[in-house]
Amino acid sequence: MVKTLRPYIKLHKYSILIVLGCILFYLSFAYDLDREDFTKLMLLYGALVFFHYKLIQFEKWNFKFLLIAGILFRLVFVIAEPNLSQDFYRFIWDGELIKNGINPYLHTPNTLIERPDFAITNSQELYNGMGALSARHYSNYPPLNQLIFTVSTYLGGGSVLGSLIIMRLSIILADIGILYFGRKLLKIIGSSTHLAFWYFLNPLVVIELTGNLHFEGVMLFFFVCSIYLISINKWKLAAPVYAMSILLKLVPLLFLPLLLKYFGFKKSAIFYTLIGVTSLIFLLPFISPEFLANYSKTVGLWFSNFEFNASIYNIVKKVGVHYFEAKPWELVKSYGNLVPKLVILIALLLTFLRKNKNIKTLLGSMLILLTSYYFLSSTVHPWYIIFLLTLTIFTNYRFPIVWSVLVILSYYAYSNPEFKENLWLLAIEYSLVLGYIIYEIFKNHNTLSLFRKKFTQK
């Protein structure tokens, strides 16, 4: 055993040192970082990004090594309390409500906590932890998310830490599933399977999903699995799986029009119907007139009330307030009402103007649509970029990898009590991302080579 292990260690010594270094940095990130300490946050994240790049460079064909490394990075966070997000308190709150027969879509935490007969496990701790913004709104998490919250509270045995561990394990398993189906899909489209590790080992994915308990990873597991099933012509089986991705996060709804040209009208109608039936089955336990009103109102807030790490919106706001004396709170509502219309328009253009008849082109259209939405949106949390990161490994574009590095600049807002963003840092983030997008457009359409030829001819 020792004789076989020694040559292996010698051969992979630099990679092993990198993995150990990453584990130490993730330990510091998980257990010794205050989100107000922006300098430390940046240094840790920068080091992890560099190590992530080197690890793939050294070991990109060593599947087992990279798989084990990715799992070890995630296990570092298993008993840590998320330090960049407090959303987990609301997750457990919703799970405890359902466990006690209370519909989380019909009552806000503020109204429930005032009731003398209200009693759920750890109610005061959860209420205090979720924050005032979450406490005054109805739940906006779709039904399958609620199922995971409920199972986590059951298996967690009434402990906040126990519930966190169960949720984390579900996210880790989902990431392994993304790696599995992602590699299969990469083989089908003729791309290198090692590209899946740009997702699996990415520090943003490890920190935001496993570390901060965002369920984009579970949603992406169902999404990637459904796209794989579509690619092998098992589209009827893919429909309920796709529905499950929507029932975790609503974002995959954006892509449904794009499937019209891929399937054709008849298949699309069946596919959409199967998605609708699956969604209805999961929605049935919650459906009531109040549910529809409350849920649509809460989801609408994300378009018209919140703002974080925005690009085009910040420009519109600056111009509107400075030159037209617009009121910021009115501007965000008007702008938020406009964004869905623009996104629908872009989706329709991509549906009818692009030839979405093979999987790679279809995924490319999805990447364009989601990128457009994020550039238009007034709220782009760092973990949102992970969907782009997943899509990009199946295309010829790599700008989401660059964005996954730069989006950490948005966390500067947490470093001050007023939660005030630094627009200069956001300008750097979006300028570099946009610059790289423009570069890749020229590169992928051979425009750069044409310029070089013309220049050398002269």
Could you read off the pLDDT of 176-230 as tens digits, one per residue?
999 999 999 999 999 999 999 999 999 999 999 999 999 999 999 999 999 999 9
- Whether residue 457 is predicted with pLDDT greater than 80 in this model: the reply is no
- Predicted local distance difference test score (pLDDT) of residue 458: 47
In a domain, 15, yes or no: yes
With respect to residue 17, please indicate whether it lies within any of the assigned structural domains.
yes
- pLDDT confidence band for 293 (50 / 70 / 90): confident
- pLDDT for 146 equals 94
pLDDT at 448 over 70: no
Nearest to 45 by CA among 312, 306, 412, 337: 412
| pLDDT at site 331 | 79
For residue 1, what pLDDT is reported?
55
- Mean pLDDT over 300-312 rounds to 77
| Model confidence, pTM | 0.94
Runs of H (alpha helix) within 190-288? 197-200, 203-205, 216-231, 235-246, 259-263, 265-283
Confidence of residue 302 (pLDDT cuts 50, 70, 90): low
Please provide residue 416's backbone torsions phi and psi, each rounded to the nearest 5 degrees: -130, 150
Mean pLDDT of the chain: 91
- Whether 451 shows a pLDDT value over 50: the answer reads no
Contacts of 348 (CB under 8 A, 6+ apart): 257
Q: So what's the pLDDT on residue 421?
A: 92
Note whether residue 217 is domain-resident. Answer: no
Most confident residue range from 117-121, 396-400, 447-451: 396-400
Which residue is it, tokens 């949720």?
167
Q: Is the pLDDT of residue 58 over 90?
A: yes
**pLDDT at 301 (0 to 100):** 64
- pLDDT tens string 428-440: 999 999 999 999 9
Residue 407 has pLDDT above 90, yes or no: yes
Average pLDDT (225-252) is 96
Q: Report whether pLDDT(11) > 90.
A: no
115 located within any domain? no
Round to whole Å and give the CA distance between 406 and 429. Answer: 5
More confident residue, 242 or 3: 242
Give the torsion sign (CA, 261, 267, 272, 274): negative
Of 387, 350, 355, 389, nearest to 369 by C-alpha is 350
For the stretch 326-369, pLDDT in tens is: 777 777 778 888 988 999 999 999 999 998 889 999 999 999 99
Find the helix or strand (DSSP H, E) in which 343 lies: helix 328-353
Q: Give mean pLDDT, residues 239-262.
A: 95
- Give Dmax (Cα) for the chain: 84
Q: Are 90 and 133 in contact (CB under 8 A)?
A: no
Does the structure show a pLDDT above 80 at 449? no
Average pLDDT over residues 160-178: 97
In a domain, 96, yes or no: no
Tokens of 77: 């966070």
Residue 416 pLDDT > 90, yes or no? Answer: no
Whether pLDDT at 17 is above 80: yes
Residue 267 lies in a domain: no
Number of domains in the chain: 1
DSSP state of 351: H
Residue 94 domain-assigned (yes or no) = no
**What's the pLDDT score for residue 137?**
87
* Three-state secondary structure readout of 221-232: HHHHHHHHHHHC
Instruction: Please state, in angstroms and rounded to a whole number, the distance separating the CA atoms of residues 449 and 457.
Output: 12
Helix and strand numbers, DSSP H then E, in the chain: 24, 0
Three-state DSSP class for residue 308: strand
**How many CB atoms lie under 10 A from the CB of residue 118?**
15
Structure token pair of residue 242? 């796709």
Better-scored residue on pLDDT, 7 or 450:
7
Position 453 pLDDT exceeds 80: no
For residue 308, the cross-strand partners are 379
- Could you tell me which residues are beta bridge partners of residue 379? 308
pLDDT band at 6 (very low <50, low <70, confident <90, very high): confident
Per-residue pLDDT, 400: 97
Is pLDDT at 251 greater than 50 in this prediction?
yes
Work out the burial of residue 95: count CB atoms within 10 Å of its CB; fewer than 13 is exposed, 13-18 middle, 19 or more buried.
Answer: buried
Q: How many CB atoms lie within 10 A of CB 157?
A: 11
Domain range holding 41? 1-76
Amino acid at 357: K
By percentage, how much of the chain surpasses pLDDT 70? 95
